[in-house]
Amino acid sequence: MDTQASREGANKQVISSQADSLIKISRIWADFFSRKCLESAYLDRFFAI
């Protein structure tokens, strides 16, 4: 009973840390893509002139 409870707690910690890392990665990707889109939009404007 006690070992099962601690095992569940450990599993929850692993899942939450994986979720945290996924959130961090997705934020980095979103930031990267938004910068790329902004850069390409500005470049398109400069080349259009």
Domain segments of the chain as ranges: 1-49
Q: Give CA–CA dist 17/20, Å, rounded.
A: 5
| Dihedral, 22, 28, 32, 33 alpha carbons, nearest 10 | 30
1-49 confidence digits (pLDDT tens): 568 878 888 888 888 899 899 999 999 999 988 888 888 887 787 776 5
- With left for phi above 0 and alpha for psi between -120 and 50, is residue 36 left, alpha or beta? alpha
Helix boundaries (H) for 1-49: 2-48
State pTM to two decimals. Answer: 0.53
Residue 43 confidence (pLDDT): 79
Q: Give CA–CA dist 9/30, Å, rounded.
A: 31
